[in-house]
Amino acid sequence: MGTPANVVVLPQDSAELRIESLNLPDPGPTQVVVKQYASGICHSQLHQMHRPRTSPVILGHESTGVVLKTGSEVSHVQEGDTVLVTWVPRNAAATDVPPVTATLDVSDGVAVSENVFTWADHTLCDQQYVVKVNADIAKDVTAIIGCAVMTGAGAVINTAKVQPGDSVVIFGVGGVGLSAVVGARVAGANPIIAVDLDDNKLDFAKAFGATHGINASHTDPIAAIHEMTATEGKFTIFKQPVSGVDFAFDCIGIKQTMEQIVPACRAGHFGAGPGGTAVLVGVPTTSVELNAIDVLVNEKHFIGSIGGSCAPDRDFPTFLGWHADGTLDLERMVTARYRLEDINEATDALQAGKISGRAILEFD
């Protein structure tokens, strides 16, 4: 019979999104059909929209919904379950994780997605990409847990394993960066420095736990970070006082910020401890040049964090718990809401930097 669905399609040769009404096929043995309540609108989709492609594309990778249909071998969820949809397998150690693409027949060919697609009022995906949650959760703002929260907060608590008293700087405080700020606050970091180009975003970050804000369009952020973080009684190999943060997170992924996070880190305390750690969280679109002497002599680290090193089955209940007890204010973090038919307006606003937190699509 299939399931009627309205799906956002990115054509092969245009960045203008269209909505296509079609029938999703019935689920395969390990697949589920999910009626969606809301989907996040992630900046990484802009990268997909503006890079070359060989077929139409279906987009979106975080949502909240309810299971309508299940395949014959689905054991993780059943019809009627409330779920979070995400692009990271809920149990990456499993041997049955499906390929990292999904396909859907559309009017001009076969459209391809990366793992899942959530810019649609209904979606079809493998059970590995849905996490069962309590039915009484908020059905709208929790949609951003499947990427923004997972990626930002996870980078702090899972990848970097920030500890109480560690100093942290976060470059870029959109939805992912704000989630990193929350993760740093939960971890007990101090100071928590936010870096952005917009004073309003910096003030907004303080509402989530940032202790300091640096507007990089007005101030050299590296100099400002080192001025804030001078450490008495510790010296580098060159007998200079140690300054800089324990952890620097780039939640943007552009060349400039990728090349700033290593200099923002503290040097090692010669003979007594290593230097700080730079963590790449944002999806890069360019190459990056690092000062190898700085990394070597000051014993600094440059590492990546994909999806916040999260295991959704393990971590999503934690993030939902933060939301339930007020630690993670998702209602405040979601700063824009759009209908499906306004998807081009939504992506234009995101491209123009008009979304201070995270935007979502809401479905009937």
d(CA 101, CA 212) in angstroms, rounded, equals: 41
Greatest extent of the chain over all pairs of C-alpha atoms, in Å: 74
**Cα torsion angle, 341, 347, 348, 350, sign:** positive
Q: Output the DSSP codes for 14-73.
A: -S--EEEEEEEPPP-TTEEEEEEEEEEE-THHHHHHTS--SS-EE---EEEEEEEEE-TT
Q: What pLDDT score does 95 carry? A: 67
How far apart, in whole angstroms, are the C-alpha atoms of residue 338 and residue 72? 35
pLDDT, tens digit (0-9, with 9 covering 90-100), for 184-223:
999 999 999 999 999 999 999 999 999 999 999 999 999 9
pLDDT of residue 234: 82
Cα–Cα distance for residue pair 221/265, rounded to 1 Å: 12
Cα–Cα distance for residue pair 323/141, rounded to 1 Å: 10
Average pLDDT rounded to a whole number, residues 171-193: 98
Indicate whether 330 pLDDT > 90.
Answer: yes
CATH match of 149-307 with 3.90.226.30: no
pLDDT value for 289: 95
Q: What is the pLDDT of residue 105?
A: 93
Q: Are 262 and 231 in contact, with CB atoms under 8 Å apart? A: no
How much is the average pLDDT of 64-68? 98
Which residues on adjacent β-strands are paired with residue 66?
35, 82
| Class (C level, CATH) for 3-136+329-362 | alpha beta
Q: In what helix (H) or strand (E) does residue 282 lie, and over which residues does it extend?
A: none
The whole-number pLDDT of residue 238 equals 81
Q: In Å, how far from its chain's centre is CA 28?
A: 29
pLDDT at 285 (0 to 100): 87
* Whether 173 contacts 205, CB under 8 Å: yes
Q: What crossing angle do the helices spanning 175-187 and 199-206 adopt, rounded to 10°? A: 30
Locate the domains of the chain by residue range.
3-136+329-362, 149-307
> pLDDT band at 160, cuts 50/70/90?
very high
- The gap from C-alpha 135 to its chain's centroid, in whole angstroms, comes to 24
First to last CA, the chain: 22
Nearest to 49 by CA among 83, 11, 77: 11
pLDDT tens string 213-270: 999 999 999 999 999 999 888 888 888 888 999 999 999 999 999 999 999 999 987 7
Q: Is the pLDDT of residue 346 over 80?
A: yes
pLDDT of residue 74 exceeding 90, the answer is yes
Tokens of 135: 């039915």
Does 68 have pLDDT greater than 80? yes
User: Which among 341, 318, 337, 340 has a CA at the least distance from the CA of 328?
Assistant: 318
Q: Do domains 3-136+329-362 and 149-307 have the same CATH topology?
A: no
Q: Is residue 170 a contact partner of residue 249, using CB atoms and an 8 Å limit?
A: yes
Q: What is the pLDDT of residue 273?
A: 81
76-128, pLDDT tens digit by residue?
999 999 999 999 999 877 767 777 788 899 999 999 998 899 999 999 999 99
258, 288 contact by CB (below 8 A): yes
Phi, psi of 119 (to 5 degrees): -85, 70
Give the chain's mean pLDDT: 95
The pLDDT of 24-45, averaged and rounded, is: 96
